Structure 1
Amino acid sequence: MIVIGLDLAGPSNHKDTVLTVFQQNKDHLIFQKMISNISDEEILYEIIDLSRLDEVVIGIDAPLSYQDGGGDRMSDKQLRKFIVSLGMKPGSIMPPTFTRMVYLTLRGIKLTREIEKLHTNFPVSIVEVHPGAAMGSRVSEKKLEYVLTYKQNLSSRKYLKNWFEQQNVIGLPDGVENESHSIDSCAAALAAWHWADQSLKPQWIYTAQPPLHPYDYCC
């Protein structure tokens, strides 16, 4: 199984979009490559190439649906409650139609529908993920501060780079800690792996509610 972690930014912000590829080897995810500043077209080509080799699982850090009428989806409400119970801040869960989120939601919905139309050799599956929650729900309570500060703090990202090794996500290159989008991409892959591998399980999951919410959401 090939696992992709995809940290999306808005449609005009390729610079902050990071795709990271891992290969599952028994109970490990082994780093293969990381691509930053990537467009939708390049993402699709990458998925096509990888799907020639093996099953592909993609964890996408972006809303992949929105609530009809606006506001929170039920999944957003439940995930916000879950992360607050861990000691995390509720503000990291924003409604998909919120002003700061709506273009990211647009890109997430558009991209997933394009992925579904691809002709691939092996199956491709998609899950919506929340990288911060994926990390916050797996670190010890004493180390939660690293998750709360990693977007601003290099030393926190250095800690998390090493922490991934403890989660059997191995081989991350030097420099992955230089900015938070790379860390988010790796955490997206971690959540997607635990969702897809039947011997593992997510820390939290809201199952798909098609047709309006067609993808599982997990961390």
Structure 2
Amino acid sequence: MIVIGIDLSGPANHKDTAMAVFQTIGDELVLLDMLVDVDDEKILSTIHSFTAQDIILGIDAPLSYQDGGGDRPQDKCLRHFVKEFGLSGSSIMPPTLTKMVYLTLRGVSLTRRIMNMTAAEKIRIIEVHPGAAIGTRIEPEKLSHVRHYKKDIQSRYVIFDWFKSVGLKNLSKDITETSHQMDACAAALAAWHWGDPAKKPIWHWEQITSAHPFEICC
């Protein structure tokens, strides 16, 4: 099985989009490729190149929005959940918030194109939250690094070592250069735990509707 994690940025900001492609081997997730500065066409062609196998795709971006604006029910639920672990809920923002709306637009557009791809039946898509995926799994004494890894490379080094301890293999330390590559790996971790029948996510919103067609997990 192929597991892909994408840390998506807005449509005019490809340089902050990272895509981590992993292969499941036994109880490990082995990195095959890390792509950065990725546009939509590269995302689509990369996914298509692996459709000989089943693909689990975890995307860090809102993949739907609430009619009328504001939080979706799943946003409220996840925000409450992460606070129980000592994490800030401020990173879980309404999809229609001004600073989020272009990211939401890209997430919605991209996933609809993926759903219309040839061999789309081989692809399962899940919306993920990388920071929550790390923060709800990592040892409590390392939680401060989850709060700071976006800006602090020393904290990214700690999380890099932790990734290796939870089954992510073949990682290059180069991924610590930006938080985007780290988030792509964490997106894959969450997607793996959702899509592998031998595992389960820490938190999982299963209810889907025509307006909100994708489950969410961390």
Aligned to 2:65: 66
- Return the letter of the residue paired with 2:70: G
Aligned to 1:156: 155
Aligned to 1:119: 118
SS at match of 2:173: coil
| Aligned-residue offset at 1:143 | 0.8
The range that moved more, 119-128 or 132-141, is 119-128
Aligned to 1:35: 35
Aligned to 2:191: 192
Residues 51 and 122 in structure 1, CA contact (< 8 A), matched pair in contact too: no
The range that moved more, 128-137 or 139-148, is 139-148
Aligned to 1:24: 24
- CA–CA distance in structure 1, aligned partners of residues 39 and 207 of structure 2: 27
> Aligned pairs, how many?
218
Matched, 1:6 2:33: no
| Aligned-residue offset at 1:208 | 3.5
The range that moved more, 117-126 or 206-215, is 117-126
- Return the letter of the residue paired with 2:177: N
Matched, 1:134 2:128: no
The range that moved more, 168-177 or 187-196, is 168-177
Over residues 112-145 of structure 1, what are the superposed CA-to-partner deviations in whole Å (9 max), with x where a residue is unaligned?
0000000028711100000000000000111101
Residues 56 and 123 in structure 1, CA contact (< 8 A), matched pair in contact too: yes
Task: List structure 1 runs of 4+ shifted beyond 2 angstroms.
Answer: none
- CA–CA distance in structure 2, aligned partners of residues 216 and 108 of structure 1: 14
- CA–CA distance in structure 2, aligned partners of residues 118 and 184 of structure 1: 25
SS at match of 2:30: strand
Task: List gaps (5 residues or longer) in structure 1.
Answer: none
- CA–CA distance in structure 1, aligned partners of residues 189 and 128 of structure 2: 9
Residues 129 and 218 in structure 1, CA contact (< 8 A), matched pair in contact too: yes
SS at match of 1:175: helix
- CA–CA distance in structure 1, aligned partners of residues 31 and 43 of structure 2: 17
Aligned to 1:51: 51
- Return the letter of the residue paired with 1:24: T
Aligned to 1:217: 216
Residues 126 and 215 in structure 1, CA contact (< 8 A), matched pair in contact too: yes
Cα RMSD after superposing both structures: 0.9
| Aligned-residue offset at 1:26 | 1.2
Residues 21 and 33 in structure 1, CA contact (< 8 A), matched pair in contact too: yes
